[in-house]
Amino acid sequence: MKLTTADDPDVLAGAGTPGAEDASDGPGTGGTAYQVLRQVRPLYQASERAVDHVLRGTDVTVPLRAVLELVLTRGSMTVPQVAREFGITRQSVQALVDTGAARGLVGFEDNPQHRRSRLVGATERGRRTFTEVHRRELANLDRVTADFDVEDLAACARVLAVLTDRIRQIDDQDQEPS
């Protein structure tokens, strides 16, 4: 299914946002990009609830699931590396990792690059648990996107990845010393 604004004209018209009726009418692309960003928060919140539903009956939380996915896709990482990737504090990641280790989902390895900062990796139990959870997530996604055009979804993923990177650059520039 090719999606257009005719499918839901309120999406790009800014329904529910004061002054957003003409947010995409400017000379640049910022207004339309803003409308994309307005969809990200409700998508994230709905996704988190859907993932939490899939996780029921496991000893994995949504944040711990994110750590498992990261170390399974990128390889073992230090706690500070995970924290940078997620944009959260090292202490928050350490608490997640400690919980995961207590549940047998992640383990620690010596880090040849740093004596004190060990690497966090998924255990075999963590890998099996993530694989099963992810299988159920994909089944749900297959169901709710069955009528979507796969090229639309791929284009959406590409745009969101670039937009995320560029918005991170704004924050990075603001953090640089003057």
**Residue-level pLDDT at 105:** 98
Query: Above 70 in pLDDT, residue 82?
Result: yes
Is 52 inside any structural domain? no
Is 21 inside any structural domain? no
Is 159 inside any structural domain? yes
Q: What is the pLDDT of residues 99-120, one digit of tens each?
A: 999 999 999 999 988 878 899 9
Is 53 inside any structural domain? no
The boundaries of the domain holding residue 73 are: 58-166
Number of domains in the chain: 1
Is 22 inside any structural domain? no
**Residue-level pLDDT at 5:** 46
The tokens describing 107, both together, are 């383990």
Q: Please tell me the least confidently modeled range out of 13-27, 102-116, 126-140, 155-169.
A: 13-27
CATH number at residue 102: 1.10.10.10
Pairing of strands 77-78, 119-122: antiparallel
**What is the rounded distance in angstroms from the CA atom of residue 95 to the CA atom of residue 88?**
12
Q: What is the pLDDT of residues 124-147, one digit of tens each?
A: 999 999 999 999 999 999 999 999
**What is the rounded distance in angstroms from the CA atom of residue 3 to the CA atom of residue 153?**
10
Query: Above 60 in pLDDT, residue 17?
Result: no
Is 51 inside any structural domain? no
Percentages (nearest 5) of helix, strand, coil residues in the chain: 65, 5, 30
Reported as a pLDDT band with limits 50, 70 and 90, residue 13 is very low
**Residue-level pLDDT at 10:** 53
Query: Above 70 in pLDDT, residue 15?
Result: no
Is 28 inside any structural domain? no
Q: Nearest Cα to 127, choosing from 50, 54, 67?
A: 67
